[in-house]
Amino acid sequence: MRHDVTDQLETRLSPPYLIFLGDTEDPVFAKTGAGIVQWRPELVVGQLRLTSTGIDLGVPDLTLRQAVEKGVRSLVVGIAPVGGNLSPPILDVLVEAASHGLDIVSGLHTRLEAHPALVDAADSSGARLIDVRVPPPDLPIGTGAKRTGRRLLTVGTDCAVGKKYSALAISESMQRFDVSHTFRATGQTGIMIAGSGIPIDSVVCDFLAGAAERLSPDNDEDHWDVIEGQGSLFNPAYAGVSLGLLHGSQPDAIVLCHDANRKSILNSPSVTIPSLAECLDLNIRCARLTNADVTCAGVCVNSSGLPVDERAHYLESISADLGVPCVDPVIDGCDAIVERLVSSVSGSDRSNQRNNG
């Protein structure tokens, strides 16, 4: 059974974790910590905040000393500020945590070893400095060659609209349906949750498609790789990452992800998000470069900003317009999408049997 990517993609972390949130007040920039608490709560002992008015993930507030007393082994940087820079107050906390012997786990673009004081503290205590956002060496270029197995990729109308959450919810539904599958992480939070993956946005652009091919290699015919999407083809900053991942993933199915309250591109307010139909059409057309048979399996919407009495109608109208299931993956789960996948695959298999007969 070929369900695992090479061990070189594994990231070995030491739980339990203390999630460090700094003074972040915008939930968009705390998605790393929120994702770990949502999907791996059994690994989280508490959170460390620099201000009581900052993001609260609903787990106990702890000091570093309290965390050590409770057996915490790793401080996870749970924030992802634009640019990935470590401010002096944040760096001070990391140095103190390392001096207590806690491993420091970061998914920021800024490497931990770039800070001498942090390196010295870790060397003195024996703590590890773990940068999750480091791609494996010797990545190949993409070939576009057909691979065995099946693949689903989450794509977005923008960044930070729920592609990771949707992929994890789809994986959870596949588990219930007893569908052979593996969640393939492409971002720092997903890697921390899954324990393996490739940080696609840190890969040199020439090797993006090759990295995606390596992440989801040949597999059993009935096995699904559920690949976490990144960025958006409509985001001026991240469209290149999205396109390379789309081509290399060679998806058989895509799931479009959207935030119901997002009207313009994050950090590019002058860029309006197109209609869902236009977003879906462009993703399908681009995906056909490496898989002419790609289809849309559904739409996942973050509906948390909608009035409760409008949510059902909003999702139903999208489903009617696009002809696919539309769900909020956090509230509804993704069973409707997985049911569509299972039924479409069964129908395709029966058709192939008739043609071959």
Is 194 inside any structural domain?
yes
Write the CATH number for 104: 3.40.50.720
Is 137 inside any structural domain?
no
Is 145 inside any structural domain?
no
For residue 232, give the nearest of 159, 294, 293 by alpha carbon.
Answer: 159
Please report which confidence band the pLDDT of residue 82 belongs to, taking 50, 70 and 90 as the band edges: low
Q: Is the pLDDT of residue 183 over 70?
A: yes
Of the listed ranges 130-134, 169-173, 294-298, the one predicted with least confidence: 130-134
Same domain, 329 and 217: yes
Same domain, 241 and 304: yes
Q: What is the pLDDT of residue 354?
A: 47
Q: Is the pLDDT of residue 84 over 80?
A: no
Q: Is the pLDDT of residue 157 over 70?
A: yes
- The total of other beta-carbon atoms located within 10 Å of residue 59's CB is 16
Same domain, 122 and 188: no
Same domain, 247 and 184: yes
Q: Helix crossing, 163-176 with 31-39: angle to 10°?
A: 10
Return the SS3 of 131: strand
Return the SS3 of 73: coil
Is 248 inside any structural domain?
yes
Which of 131, 160, 190 is the endpoint of a domain?
131
For residue 33, give the nearest of 2, 3, 78, 76 by alpha carbon.
Answer: 78
Please report which confidence band the pLDDT of residue 356 belongs to, taking 50, 70 and 90 as the band edges: very low
Mean of pLDDT values over 261-288:
96
Of the listed ranges 192-196, 269-273, 329-333, 337-341, the one predicted with least confidence: 192-196
- The pTM (predicted TM-score) of the whole model is 0.88
Same domain, 58 and 177: no
Q: What is the pLDDT of residue 349?
A: 54
Is 173 inside any structural domain?
yes
Q: Look at the block and give the residue holding tokens 């906390």.
A: 93
For residue 167, give the nearest of 336, 340, 329, 301 by alpha carbon.
Answer: 329
What tokens does 326 get?
């539309």
Q: What is the pLDDT of residue 347?
A: 58
Same domain, 75 and 215: no
Is 140 inside any structural domain?
no
Same domain, 252 and 199: yes
Same domain, 159 and 187: yes
Domains: count for the chain: 2
Q: Look at the block and give the residue holding tokens 């794509």.
A: 155
What tokens does 357 get?
């007969």
What is the rounded CA–CA span in Å between residue 66 and residue 48?
10
Same domain, 90 and 217: no
- Rg of the chain over Cα atoms, rounded to whole angstroms, equals 21
**Which residues on neighbouring strands pair with residue 10, listed in sequence order?**
196
Q: Look at the block and give the residue holding tokens 């492409």.
A: 186
Q: What is the pLDDT of residue 4?
A: 38
What is the rounded CA–CA span in Å between residue 35 and residue 153?
18
Q: Is the pLDDT of residue 8 over 70?
A: no
Is 141 inside any structural domain?
no
Which of 99, 131, 163 is the endpoint of a domain?
131
Return the SS3 of 260: coil
Mean of pLDDT values over 192-199:
91
Same domain, 173 and 243: yes
Tens digit of each residue's pLDDT (9 = 90 or more) over 113-138: 999 999 999 999 999 999 998 899 88
**Which residues on neighbouring strands pair with residue 44, listed in sequence order?**
17
Which of 131, 159, 180 is the endpoint of a domain?
131
112-128 burial, b if ≥16 CB within 10 A, otherwise e? beebeebeebbeeeebb
For residue 301, give the nearest of 163, 208, 148, 119 by alpha carbon.
Answer: 163
Q: Is there a cis peptide before residue 16, judged by omega within 30 degrees of 0?
A: yes
Q: What is the pLDDT of residue 13?
A: 87
Mean confidence (pLDDT) of the chain: 91
Mean of pLDDT values over 270-284:
97
For residue 163, give the nearest of 150, 174, 153, 173 by alpha carbon.
Answer: 153
**Which residues on neighbouring strands pair with residue 184, listed in sequence order?**
227
Is 26 inside any structural domain?
yes
Same domain, 314 and 185: yes
What tokens does 336 get?
């409707």
Same domain, 300 and 186: yes
Mean of pLDDT values over 223-233:
97
- The total of other beta-carbon atoms located within 10 Å of residue 186's CB is 28
Mean of pLDDT values over 59-76:
96
Domain of residue 95: give its range. 7-131
Farthest CA pair distance, the chain: 70
Tens digit of each residue's pLDDT (9 = 90 or more) over 300-354: 999 999 999 999 999 999 999 999 999 999 999 999 999 999 987 765 554 454 4
Q: What is the pLDDT of residue 162?
A: 93
What is the rounded CA–CA span in Å between residue 275 and residue 272?
9
Q: What is the pLDDT of residue 28?
A: 79
What is the rounded CA–CA span in Å between residue 190 and residue 222?
24
Write the CATH number for 191: 3.40.50.300
Return the SS3 of 129: strand
